[in-house]
Structure 1
Amino acid sequence: MFDLIQVALTNRSALLATLHAENSDCYRLFHGVNEGRPGLTVDRYGPQLLIQTFHESISEAQAAAIHTQVEAFLGCALTCVYNDRSSANSRRSDDFRVDNWEGEARELGVRYRVKGKHEGQDPLLFLDMRAGRRWIQQHAAGKSVLNLFSYTCGVGVVAAVAGASRVLNVDFSTRSLDIGRQNAELNDLKASQISFFQSDFFTAAKQLAGIPIKQRVGRGRKPKPFPKIGEEKFDLVFLDPPRWAKSAFGTVDLIRDYPSVLKPALLATKPGGQLVCANNVASVSYAEWLDTVQRCAEKAGCPVKSITRLEPETDFPSPDGQFPLKLVVLQL
């Protein structure tokens, strides 16, 4: 295991030099699924080293040894967190634990809050989405931006820092949006530059797109209320849904029904605008998913003029080019 990690570290030397020059100190140091140890990941988030296991746990002594190995390679001291997620549903074995440690990481000069043990399961910033955030940083200036399934609002924050005219982040989780607000504060963003809307995806996206809202209501039950927002179209929309989620207003299912989330996102994009959309399910092929995306766009009356594929950067190697995260920019 340690020899494999050393090879991975050495292979990243040029990338890390580039990232450090771009004022980035968060990246993946070991991507086990394609570097010889499936289920083991080692990530740096600024002052924190995050080790995670998804198939087979490692000992505290092994985690400490990885910590020492990485510190020696990087030449800096890091606070180490080990999250064993090898149990059912990839939940932390100590998911009850929340600590007081917080840190700050930078990516492309943008500052983000990081925390190893918090109330959720996942890191507060998904590193494989750097390619998407990089593209947003390069294209958001002067544009209105809608960030759907915003999580901790990394995309929205980088858009606002890049000079977007308006940024709206939408997510159901109040806790995630609170982290997003902290990220905005870290970057000295004002309320006039970035806003946050706590809502079910379907009610928010459909209202913005001008689509009637339907919900499943049981016998004898009243329809559930939802927060109201006016119809609005955006120059640039970012859509990064989870694999599966269900509410009274609809079901997110990236395997069987991607159009259910794609259609309202398309209709919330201005004609001539751009929609960045993602699918992170490894079992869905890029070609199959892209065909679904194009057919949905045609059916929705939003034909795609051109498609740009964005691939995860080289700290997420894939020998066959079949990345679990599929990410494209649709020019409408």
Structure 2
Amino acid sequence: MNINDIQALLKENSKDLSTEFKRLFHGRGELYEGWKHLTVDSIDEILSVALYFEMEPELEAELVEMFKDFISTCRHKTLVIQRRYIKGSPSEVVVGELQDNLHVVENGMKIKLNLLSNQNSGYFADMKNGREFVRVNAKDKSVLNLFSYTCAFSVAAKLGGARSVSNIDMSKSALTTGRENHHLNELDTKGVAFLPYNILKSFSRIKKKGPYDLIIIDPPTFQKGSFEATKDYEKIIKKLPQIASDNCTLLACLNSPDLDENFIIELIKELSPCFKFVERLENVKEFASDNEDRSLKNLVFIREVL
């Protein structure tokens, strides 16, 4: 695939653009040979490009010129390049300008966005179907949102009519953004808790707000000093029966390319067998991968009480 092929694909994927977020090119899925380092997103009038490793200067310059040409033919007015391979380097606004207080729109829900970071922007687009599942299944439920980050699951739950939500994350700044995300969606935060706990060390405090009718576990695959999926996921799973209500729904998420869905399914079968596997949610079609075992896993379980 060459740069002209990418431009043609962008034009094809841009026919139905709106204010809603849409991934236009997902090289990370390794479906396009030679371009696994590239992603391209449409965020209302912004075209956001991420490069995950360094390219030859001439080829990158040609790619950037193509993006400039592309945005002249569609709804985009601003071009942002994120060079994710440069630690601590801010993103570059190549064309146009970024307004203050940016947000992304997903199924009508608004999430604050920081495009000037070359790391996490505050929004994980591949989790769209997981958030929609929560929104549809949250009505009148007490929800526990573990590893909540900026609380997008909480916003989805409240929009779906959740009775209460407990957001747990070690990052106070992420929780502050989470509170702002609720206000951005004109949601009353009464009944919504933003708790800066170390999940693995705060079980007794988490348990006090239970039992929970819907539990979301969406951890990082690896975060030094916080969580490592291969050894820490089981510590949470074995405690689930103590905090879950009868017929509790569990959404267990895993985004490790090295662990397949059976890693979670077998752990739950061994450590919390009262939870029965129901389904793996489909991934967002724009995030297609050449190997689904390596892509995002959103696994749904239901507690069965005999």
- Alignment TM class, shorter chain as reference: 0.7 to 0.9
Q: How far is 1:321 from its partner?
A: 2.9
Q: Match of 1:2?
A: 3
1:240 aligns with 2:227: no
Q: How far is 1:175 from its partner?
A: 1.3
TM-score, length-normalised on structure 2? 0.84
Q: Match of 1:104?
A: 103
For the residue of structure 2 that corresponds to 1:142, the secondary structure is coil
CA distance in 1, matches of 2:272, 2:9: 40
Q: How far is 1:82 from its partner?
A: 1.2
Q: How far is 1:268 from its partner?
A: 2.4
The runs of 5 or more residues in structure 2 that have no matched partner are none
For the residue of structure 2 that corresponds to 1:52, the secondary structure is strand
CA contact under 8 A between 1:26 and 1:46: conserved in structure 2?
yes
Q: How far is 1:266 from its partner?
A: 5.0
CA pair 263-44 structure 1, distance change in 2 beyond 3 A: farther
Q: Match of 1:213?
A: none
For the residue of structure 2 that corresponds to 1:29, the secondary structure is strand
Amino acid at match of 2:23: R
> What is the aligned counterpart of 1:317 among 274, 279, 288?
288
CA contact under 8 A between 1:143 and 1:235: conserved in structure 2?
yes
CA pair 45-58 structure 1, distance change in 2 beyond 3 A: farther
CA contact under 8 A between 1:12 and 1:315: conserved in structure 2?
no
CA distance in 1, matches of 2:224, 2:239: 16
Q: Match of 1:275?
A: 250
Q: How far is 1:62 from its partner?
A: 4.3
CA pair 271-327 structure 1, distance change in 2 beyond 3 A: same
CA pair 273-82 structure 1, distance change in 2 beyond 3 A: same
CA distance in 2, matches of 1:195, 1:259: 25
The runs of 5 or more residues in structure 1 that have no matched partner are 210-229
Q: How far is 1:196 from its partner?
A: 1.0
1:35 aligns with 2:31: yes
1:93 aligns with 2:96: no
Q: Match of 2:298?
A: 327
CA contact under 8 A between 1:51 and 1:63: conserved in structure 2?
no
CA pair 289-12 structure 1, distance change in 2 beyond 3 A: farther
Q: How far is 1:283 from its partner?
A: 0.9
Q: Match of 1:294?
A: 269
Q: Match of 1:122?
A: 120
Superposed CA deviations along residues 265-312 of structure 1, whole A, max 9, x for unmatched, are 4532212111101111101122344222322222xxxx2234211132
Aligned residues: 292
Amino acid at match of 2:220: P
CA distance in 2, matches of 1:267, 1:12: 47
Superposed CA deviations along residues 114-141 of structure 1, whole A, max 9, x for unmatched, are 12114x7212110110010111111111
Superposed CA deviations along residues 33-74 of structure 1, whole A, max 9, x for unmatched, are 32321111112233432211112347574464353355356x
Amino acid at match of 2:246: P
Amino acid at match of 1:308: E
Amino acid at match of 2:261: Y
For the residue of structure 2 that corresponds to 1:156, the secondary structure is helix
1:26 aligns with 2:21: yes
CA contact under 8 A between 2:268 and 2:275: conserved in structure 1?
no
CA contact under 8 A between 1:208 and 1:233: conserved in structure 2?
no
> What is the aligned counterpart of 1:153 among 148, 151, 154?
151
Q: How far is 1:206 from its partner?
A: 4.4
Q: Match of 2:201?
A: 203
CA distance in 2, matches of 1:4, 1:309: 33
1:65 aligns with 2:40: no
CA contact under 8 A between 2:277 and 2:299: conserved in structure 1?
no
CA contact under 8 A between 2:44 and 2:76: conserved in structure 1?
no
Superposed CA deviations along residues 216-238 of structure 1, whole A, max 9, x for unmatched, are xxxxxxxxxxxxxx352111011
1:264 aligns with 2:239: yes
User: How much is the aligned-residue C-alpha RMSD, in angstroms?
Assistant: 2.7
User: Among the aligned pairs, what percent are the same residue?
Assistant: 27
CA contact under 8 A between 1:150 and 1:170: conserved in structure 2?
yes
CA contact under 8 A between 1:83 and 1:92: conserved in structure 2?
no
Q: How far is 1:246 from its partner?
A: 4.9
CA distance in 2, matches of 1:49, 1:266: 45
Amino acid at match of 1:126: F
CA distance in 2, matches of 1:286, 1:4: 34
CA distance in 2, matches of 1:243, 1:84: 22
